[in-house]
Structure 1
Amino acid sequence: MTPMIAKTAFVLLAVGWYVIRLPHARRSRRTPVARSARGPREITLLLISLTGLGIVPFFYIATGFPRLAAYPFRPVQASVGIVVALAALAMFHLTHRALGRSWSVTLEVRENHKLVTAGIYRYVRHPMYTAFWLWAVAQALLLPNLVAGLSGLVGFGTLYLFRVAEEERLMVEAFGEPYRTYMARTSRLIPWIL
């Protein structure tokens, strides 16, 4: 394990993310939106998350900046990071497969949107967020830089903190009691724990 392999693994995580998402994004665009919470707040949160999970780490990989935040590379830590990155991709794939056309980047309910409670959603209400948390942890383990490594946890953590309750409110408005029942029997992020 070398720093270059760890950085390459992070880049491949982003490429894998894009490859998984692209066909679902194309399909979901064809399904009209019935209800949306898209607005300045939502766009700001997405930009904060993108900065932490994408812009800062890729700038670090390309330039090494900020060098003052670097710490010694630990091969075992990076190896664990690769395992976590693979788990993130697996969770991301399972989430998209279960959602189908109901998937969207922003908080939206599509026309003929059905409440998804099968597949990975049988156990977790927000597996997409679980996948992003895993990405952020993988980033922290793969990039030996306090700023670039931890920016994903800060960026995505900000989005999660200010978005998850809004998303659940939107789902309650769209699906009512069935969603409340679903909430009562599932965890938000980690089955039977959290």
Structure 2
Amino acid sequence: MDDAKGAGVRIPPPVVFIFFMFCGLGLGFSYPIAIHFPVALAYTGVALSIFGLMVLLHLATLFKRVKTNIEPWKPTSRIISTGIYAYSRNPIYLAFCTIPLGGGLFFSHIWLMLSVIPACISVYYLAIRPEEAYLTEKFGDEYLAYRSRVRRWL
């Protein structure tokens, strides 16, 4: 197996989320939805975004500690199946979801919150499917066993 390109993901998943966040912001200007969330919900949004950023930082540190690449276009040296990865095969992508969701709650911006839907669908086709095929080919039964134990998202 030629492992030099990892899963062969061509568009970095953070770029996909950022693109759809900008699309959501643009829709907000073109088709504004006048809704205002209660202050408590707005601050819950801030907490959600901060939590997601903390999870991303934790996972980046974890990948560095176990000496495998976090970038899906680089080779993977091992399957991480402990901690958050015991509950979700894609906690990084879940953490990316918290940023537009939290921002949408804070700014009462429905379109920003809704941007998560096309972002998740796109990331599934652009990153998750190639990653799963790559990991299955590289790790075989080890990855298949992990995949049968742990859900993709939650």
Please, what TM-score do these two structures have when normalized by structure 2? 0.75
* Superposed CA offset, 1:106-132 (max 9, x none): 34324xx12222332233221111211
Matches within 5 A, 1:1-194: 34-38=4-8, 42-43=10-11, 47-53=15-21, 55-56=22-23, 66=29, 68-74=31-37, 75-100=39-64, 101-110=67-76, 113-151=77-115, 153-162=116-125, 163-190=127-154
Question: Which runs of 5 or more residues in structure 1 are unaligned?
Answer: 1-32
Question: Which runs of 5 or more residues in structure 2 are unaligned?
Answer: none
Inter-CA distance 160–48: structure 2 relative to 1 (3 Å threshold): closer
Secondary structure of 2:4 counterpart: strand
1: CA distance, partners of 2:55 / 2:92: 7
AA aligned to 1:36 is G
Structure 1 residue ranges (4+ consecutive) displaced by more than 6 angstroms after TM superposition: none
The offset of 1:79, in angstroms, is 1.6
Would you tell me which structure has more helix in proportion to its own residues?
1
Comparing both chains, which one has the higher relative contact order based on Cα–Cα distances under 8 Å and sequence gaps of 6 or more? 2
Identity %: 18
C-alpha contact 1:45 1:158 (8 A) present in aligned 2: no
C-alpha contact 2:89 2:153 (8 A) present in aligned 1: yes
**Which range moves more in the overlay, 65-74 or 92-101?**
65-74
Root-mean-square deviation (CA, aligned residues, Å) is 2.9
1: CA distance, partners of 2:31 / 2:59: 38
